[in-house]
Structure 1
């Protein structure tokens, strides 16, 4: 998990597939379970208290937006306007466990 953005209105977190955290090297004798590494982005709208998780093609489109932001540094207002466009997808209330 990697926080990409945090403001008064939004938080954006990049959720990355777990790496092998054991630190052990796998031998050829150890069978591996095939896993589909997936990543996604969680966007939390602090104003409404809702979040949306983008994965699949939505995550790919958002990743392209991030790469564009890296090439042409946007203003905070431009970033917030883009994130505000995703607010309509946010249906899940943020819950603290």
Structure 2
């Protein structure tokens, strides 16, 4: 898990897939192909909701991050882009 962005309004975390199974569980279960996936969690601090992007959504968001790395955006540009994902945020943030 890597924190990518943290502001007064948003937090963006890159959730990395654990591609290294431990040897004890590997010996106990037969080898079954698993899809290694990663995703991004975007938390809207203003509404207290979060959205998890995976699959094609994560790939599109990854492209946005790469574009930001090439052309350093202003904080306002980043916030405007993240604000576009707020409509997808349905899950309340629960601290546990």
Q: Which category of TM-score, normalised to the shorter sequence, fits these structures?
A: 0.7 to 0.9
Name the CA distance, whole Å, in 2 between partners of 1:69 and 1:59: 15
Q: Counterpart of 1:12?
A: 12
Q: Counterpart of 2:2?
A: 2
- The unaligned stretches of length 5 or more in structure 1 are none
TM-score by length of structure 1 reads 0.87
1:82 paired with 2:88, answer no
Q: Deviations over 1:61-96 (max 9, x none)?
A: 100000000000000000000000000100100001
Q: Deviations over 1:39-76 (max 9, x none)?
A: 11000000000000011111111000000000000000
RMSD over aligned Cα, in angstroms?
Answer: 1.9
- The unaligned stretches of length 5 or more in structure 2 are none
Name the CA distance, whole Å, in 1 between partners of 2:56 and 2:35: 15
Name the CA distance, whole Å, in 2 between partners of 1:23 and 1:75: 45
Structure 1 runs of 4+ off > 6 angstroms? Answer: none
**Count of aligned residue pairs for this structure pair:** 93
Contact 2:12/2:43 (CA < 8 Å) preserved in 1?
A: yes
